[in-house]
């Protein structure tokens, strides 16, 4: 968006340029080639202008006018390297063409040569050359560097000096507020941009952005609540092994399940670079069969403060989950604590990269059957996640994961490597197809004390389904999931299929 806005501003400057520039005495005495080249440029015959103006430069290598128009012709054909070379000559030769200085800054930004652009901005400020345009371009440079507050100050100066660029400046100020996550101020600036010239093309762009910001304000209310009710059929909730030698006597493995959930998300609007979000979730599972051994209630809380550095943000992601399981009354079952730094950065406008690595601690409150079966653990979790929003309502998420767990009981010491992929796409109006899959390779460190071999599990999980946003705040989900754990110890080798139908409501 920065480069698009830069080009829009540049084209506006060019249209003004010829009104101001042609009467100047510097062009009163011109060579034939220079005059012809300027005529071709005015007629927008840029390729022909380049040929003729190249000859004009050869005829008069000291002509700043020839250098300027040749640079501008190259700019119109988007040959920015050659444009910059000639425009730099136009500002370094005598007499200096002041308009060329502004164009040097613009082209240098197109080439991501911010050092060059910043140098000539300083020159323009020192010599008070086109102060409004200079302030506007300085704002673009500061935006590129992630210095949003200073950039918005520069845009404000630009429109104060020259009211003609008020609309463009308000657009850029609004985009800066979006980067700073100050959506309400962004909304005000977009509204101001529309009012400046309601019939302009830029006002049309501002209306589109305004609609998106208003939608995002609604979605990012500080407090959001979600209620979920899902019915399931789990054909192997007791994890009955495939090996019949271990499955003898195990029955009632299939059961209907009612899962209910309630979540509270808190994401306050912070006008500074600091970020914060928190979530509390309550979940319950009730089974048709084996309810006195499998019904559960869980509570979880996550707190994630962070800081936005512009092109990337760093968070401290911390969470705790506490679960109760019936046996036959509800009793404490487990507690899991995770914390660590999370790096989130935009690769491009539609691509997001996350990197996390942190500490994990798990505690199981029921006594283990034997010391070597004690699953209390400390360890490390990490992942790299890539999200690509390659089209409206389409997304692809790829994730590589690694866990290292050091447990109290030697039978559960393990390390895991995994890969998952998630894909979503619209198929009809408000209905989306969702597909996901995960492969995990889990290796245990020690010989199992009963089976006298090192346990190795390969876990395959896949799911597919549809989600229907039948109202703006309500989603119906139908899904099928299959899990296959392939273990070299028969008791841990099983298959599981889960069929889900339910709804979430957000308010």
How many CB atoms are closer than 10 A to CB 268?
12
Per-residue pLDDT of the chain (507 residues; tens, 9 = 90+): 434 443 434 434 443 343 333 333 344 456 788 888 888 888 888 899 899 889 989 888 888 888 999 999 999 999 999 999 999 998 888 888 888 888 888 898 888 888 888 888 888 888 888 898 889 988 988 888 888 889 889 998 988 898 888 888 888 888 888 777 777 788 888 888 888 778 877 778 788 877 888 777 776 678 889 999 999 999 999 888 987 777 776 777 899 999 999 999 998 877 678 899 999 999 999 999 988 899 999 999 999 999 988 788 999 999 999 999 998 899 999 999 999 999 999 887 788 999 999 999 999 999 998 999 999 999 999 999 999 988 878 889 999 999 999 999 999 999 999 999 999 999 988 899 999 999 999 999 999 999 999 999 999 999 999 999 988 889 999 999 999 999 999 999 999 999 999 999 998
Q: How far apart are CA 86 and CA 79, in angstroms?
A: 11
Burial of 136 (0-12, 13-18, 19+ CB in 10 A): buried
Q: Which two tokens stand for residue 419?
A: 């890969």
CB 85 within 8 A of CB 104: no
Burial of 90 (0-12, 13-18, 19+ CB in 10 A): buried
Q: How far apart are CA 181 and CA 217, in angstroms?
A: 10
**This prediction's pTM:** 0.63
Q: Which two tokens stand for residue 253?
A: 């493995």
Q: Which residues pair with 250 in a beta bridge?
A: none
The answer to whether the peptide bond before residue 324 is cis (omega within 30 degrees of 0) is no
How many CB atoms are closer than 10 A to CB 265?
18
Q: How far apart are CA 413 and CA 455, in angstroms?
A: 10
CB 141 within 8 A of CB 126: no
The answer to whether the peptide bond before residue 95 is cis (omega within 30 degrees of 0) is yes
CB 464 within 8 A of CB 480: yes
Burial of 440 (0-12, 13-18, 19+ CB in 10 A): middle
- Domains of the chain in sequence order: 2-216 (1.25.40.10), 221-506 (2.40.160.40)
Please report how the helices 131-144 and 114-126 are oriented relative to each other, as an axis angle in degrees rounded to 10: 150
pLDDT for the residue 33: 84
Coil vs helix vs strand at 406:
strand
Please report how the helices 2-21 and 131-144 are oriented relative to each other, as an axis angle in degrees rounded to 10: 160
pLDDT for the residue 13: 42
Q: C-alpha angle with apex 355: 349 to 359, nearest 5 degrees?
A: 155
pLDDT for the residue 110: 85
Long-range contacts of 166-169 (CB under 8 A, 24+ apart): 166/192, 166/196, 167/193, 167/196, 167/197, 167/200, 167/202, 167/203, 167/206, 168/5, 168/8, 168/9, 168/12, 168/136, 168/202, 169/136, 169/139
Residue 87, CA atoms < 13 Å, CB-side half-sphere: 26
Q: In which residue are the tokens 């889990």 written?
A: 442
pLDDT for the residue 242: 83
């Amino acid at each position: 968006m920065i480069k698009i806005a830069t080009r829009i501003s540049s084209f506006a400057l060019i249209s003004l340029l010829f009104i101001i520039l042609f009467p100047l005495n510097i062009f009163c005495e011109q060579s034939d080639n220079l005059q012809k080249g300027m005529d071709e440029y005015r007629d927008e015959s840029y390729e022909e202008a380049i040929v003729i103006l190249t000859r004009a430069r050869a005829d008069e290598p000291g002509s700043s006018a020839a250098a300027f128009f040749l640079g501008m012709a190259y700019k119109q054909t988007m040959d920015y390297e050659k444009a910059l070379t000639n425009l730099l000559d136009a500002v370094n030769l005598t007499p200096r063409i002041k308009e060329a200085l502004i164009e040097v800054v613009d082209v240098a930004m197109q080439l991501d040569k911010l050092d060059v652009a910043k140098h000539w901005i300083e020159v323009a400020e020192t010599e008070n050359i086109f102060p409004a345009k200079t302030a506007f371009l300085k704002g673009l440079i500061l935006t590129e560097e992630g210095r949003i507050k200073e950039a918005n100050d520069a845009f404000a100066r630009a429109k104060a000096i020259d009211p003609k660029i008020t609309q463009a400046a308000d657009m850029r100020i609004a985009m800066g507020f979006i980067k700073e996550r100050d959506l309400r101020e962004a909304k005000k600036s977009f509204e101001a941009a529309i009012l400046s010239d309601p019939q302009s093309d830029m006002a049309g762009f501002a209306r589109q952005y305004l609609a998106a910001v208003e939608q995002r304000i609604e979605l990012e209310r500080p407090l959001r609540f979600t209620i979920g009710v899902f019915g399931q059929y789990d054909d192997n909730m007791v994890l009955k092994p495939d090996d019949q030698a271990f499955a003898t006597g195990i029955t009632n493995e299939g059961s209907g399940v009612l899962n209910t959930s309630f979540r509270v998300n808190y994401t306050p609007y912070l006008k500074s670079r600091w970020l914060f979000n928190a979530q509390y979730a309550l979940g319950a599972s009730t089974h048709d069969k084996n309810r006195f051994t499998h019904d559960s209630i869980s509570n979880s809380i996550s707190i994630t403060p962070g800081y936005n550095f512009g092109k990337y943000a760093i968070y401290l992601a911390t969470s705790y989950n506490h679960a109760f399981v019936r046996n036959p009354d509800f009793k404490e079952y487990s507690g899991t604590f995770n914390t660590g730094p999370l790096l989130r950065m935009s690769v491009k406008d539609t691509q997001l990269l996350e990197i996390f690595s942190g500490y994990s601690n798990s505690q199981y409150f029921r006594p283990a059957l034997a010391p070597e079966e004690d699953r209390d653990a400390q360890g490390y979790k990490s992942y790299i996640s890539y999200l690509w929003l390659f089209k409206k309502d389409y997304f692809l998420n790829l994730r590589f994961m690694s866990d290292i767990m050091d447990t109290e009981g030697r039978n559960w010491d393990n390390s895991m490597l995994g890969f998952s992929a998630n894909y979503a796409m619209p198929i009809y109006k408000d209905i989306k197809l969702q597909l996901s899959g995960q492969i995990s390779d889990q290796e245990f460190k020690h010989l199992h004390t009963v089976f006298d071999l090192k346990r190795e599990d390969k876990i395959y999980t896949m799911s597919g389904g549809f989600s229907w946003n039948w109202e703006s705040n309500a989603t119906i989900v139908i899904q099928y999931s299959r899990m296959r754990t392939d273990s070299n110890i028969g008791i841990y080798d099983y298959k599981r299929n889960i069929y889900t139908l339910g709804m979430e409501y957000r308010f």
